Amino acid sequence: MEVIRAKRAGACYGVQRALDVADEVIAGGSRAFTLGPLIHNPQVVADLAERGAAAVKDVEAIAWNGEGEAPSVVIRSHGVTPEVLSDVEERGFAVVDATCPHVSRAQHAAAELAAEGCRVLVVGEEGHPEVEGLTAWARQAGGKVDVVADPADIPEGLYDPIGVVAQTTQRRENLQAVVAALREAGLDPLVRDTICSATRQRQEAAAELAANVGAMVVIGGRNSSNTTRLAEVCALTCPRTFHIESADELDPAAFKGCARVGVTAGASTPENQIAAVEAFLKTL
């Protein structure tokens, strides 16, 4: 069976940057914590915890009496709300910002639209940490904010000015559909295209490969938005699409009669995890 990797797959710049930042903190020997998982990859998060950078739910979970060296708090790649950032600083922790630059750009865009008087629509997943951050930055700037997963979520009674930003890992077609629906309703939204290039490139490469293989394997955390989107994109043209976190989940019987299998991975998936899956598939 031929195993083909998508032209674009695996850890993006923002994720690799966050991992490098965390590695530097750990190497420095100071107590370190990440606010929530640094990236949406359970295996990587577990490895960081073993090496000295445990994920905590919130700032209150970090015990420190104010004496000695302050623990380092690594802001995860999805970013945090301005309130959380202020809380970390006020408690005297050493702040290490590993927010993905694309997420930071989206936060600034949401805040700028709100400051300009727009009601801000965030196209994304309600409850996702990145989306919570985007809405919080817009509200801090004085704006009213709504999260919409698709055109059906658009609130009634909207009027200009309307601003639109997107969770960086959203499918571009979804953002375009929301904007089209707003324009059909007679509105003239100010759109900030905040979908990151890495997400778009991975989706396009995955779609191209999925159309030419008998099965697709998508590697990445099940809590990873961008990996979930990749699996959805692949399934559109390749019904035999499998979203897995590790090679252990693969069932050889699922690839019976398959001459070519494609492999792609989310932006939070490191190279060693991709290589392990490819190695297993090549034994079939």
Q: Binding site: residue ranges?
A: 12, 40, 78, 100, 128, 168, 196, 224-226, 268
Look at strands 260-265 and 215-219 and give their pairing: parallel
- Give, as one character, the DSSP assignment of residue 52: T
Lay out the sheet containing 2-5: strands in order across. 2-5, 260-265, 215-219, 241-244
Q: Which helix (H) or strand (E) holds 148?
A: strand 145-148
Residues 6+ apart with CB under 8 A from 14: 77, 100, 101, 102, 103, 196, 198, 267
Q: Which residues are annotated as a binding site for dimethylallyl diphosphate?
A: 40, 78, 128, 224-226, 268
Question: Is 130 among the residues known to form the active site?
Answer: yes
* Active-site annotation holder among 90, 112, 130, 278: 130
CA distance readout (Å), 205 to 57, 115, 209, 226, 264? 35, 37, 6, 14, 9
What does the DSSP 8-state code read for residue 135?
A: H
3-state SS track over 181-216 = HHHHCCCCCEECCCCCHHHHHHHHHHHHHHCCCCEE
Please give the Cα distance from 217 to 141 (Å, whole number): 42
Q: Which residues are catalytic?
A: 130
